[in-house]
Amino acid sequence: MIKAILFDLDGVIVDTAKYHYIAWKALAEEMGFEFTLAHNERLKGVSRMTSLEILLEIGGVSKTDEEKKELAERKNEHYRTFITKMKPDEILPGMPEFLKGVKKAGLKAAIGSASKNTPTILKQIELDTFFDAVVDGNKIAKAKPDPEVFLTGASELNVKPEECMVLEDAASGIEAALNGGMYSVGVGSPDVLGKAHCVIAGFEGVSVESLIAKCMQKR
């Protein structure tokens, strides 16, 4: 029986990938190489420092640890100029209704995100008091596909892993859910998220009850 829903943040509740893209692209251009939207796909669900490593690998650039720290900080400052202007109308289509449904069904809800900017984003979209637990990049040591982020969420909610359904847009996040022994829903393309118990394109017209039923079909 599902007792809790664990939400990834970027790509499930809001689309911040577009802001990450602008900020990483600016950094790449400064270093003299191109960073495309296809490259940006590789950064979804990945931590900030690992994102930087991938960016440098794409550009064939090497930097010292000190320089990497400075680049990551600068990228984050640029990124924050966008997220500090976010409004609740940036919550993805269907998600406000889905969230209401979660509460109505008496289910617990937690955030499981790699982002250290989670508190800022939740505040901007006015969901900072909605969740029963928030587990983000500030709290965890091991990045997805390690299940730490979701297992910590389950433990904070006082539910067992097998009672959790994870909503994720990144393949590494689906793997994290499966590694943790949880049900998983991929939000996006089946080509990328095929390992999930079920895959949806988005939340418009999707109720929590129908999603749980769909997920349970594949055990």
List interacting residues with Mg ion (CB under 5 A). 8, 10-11, 45, 169-170
> Least distance (Å) from ligand B16 to the CB of residue 19?
9
39 binds, among ligand B16, Mg ion, none (CB under 5 to 8 A by kind): none
Residue 71: other Cβ atoms inside 10 A: 20
Q: Are strands 198-200 and 183-187 parallel, antiparallel or unpaired?
A: parallel
> Least distance (Å) from Mg ion to the CB of residue 32?
29
Q: Which is nearer to Mg ion, 20 or 209 (CB)?
A: 20
How open is the CA angle 55-15-198, to the nearest 5 degrees? Answer: 100
Handedness of CA 186, 216, 175, 102 (dihedral sign): positive
Q: Please confirm, yes or no, whether 15 is among the known catalytic residues.
A: no
> Least distance (Å) from ligand B16 to the CB of residue 175?
13
For residue 65, what are its two tokens? 């640890």
Cβ atoms of 85 and 47 within 8 Å: the answer is no
> Least distance (Å) from Mg ion to the CB of residue 169?
4
Q: Which is nearer to ligand B16, 39 or 108 (CB)?
A: 39
Among 10, 128, 132, 146, the one annotated catalytic: 10
Q: Please confirm, yes or no, whether 128 is among the known catalytic residues.
A: no
137 binds, among Mg ion, ligand B16, none (CB under 5 to 8 A by kind): ligand B16
117 binds, among Mg ion, ligand B16, none (CB under 5 to 8 A by kind): ligand B16
Measured distance CA(145)–CA(153) in Å, rounded:
15
Measured distance CA(2)–CA(67) in Å, rounded:
46
Separation of first and last alpha carbons in the chain: 13
For residue 110, what are its two tokens? 């937690």
- Any idea what DSSP says for residue 145? T
Q: Which is nearer to ligand B16, 10 or 148 (CB)?
A: 10
Q: Which is nearer to Mg ion, 34 or 76 (CB)?
A: 76
Among 8, 89, 136, 169, the one annotated catalytic: 8
Backbone φ/ψ region at 52: left (φ over 0), alpha (ψ -120 to 50), beta: alpha
Q: Which is nearer to ligand B16, 138 or 210 (CB)?
A: 138
> Least distance (Å) from ligand B16 to the CB of residue 17?
6
The H or E element spanning position 4 is strand 4-7
The residues binding ligand B16 (CB under 6 A) are 8-11, 20, 43-48, 51, 76, 113-117, 137, 170
Q: Which residues are catalytic?
A: 8, 10
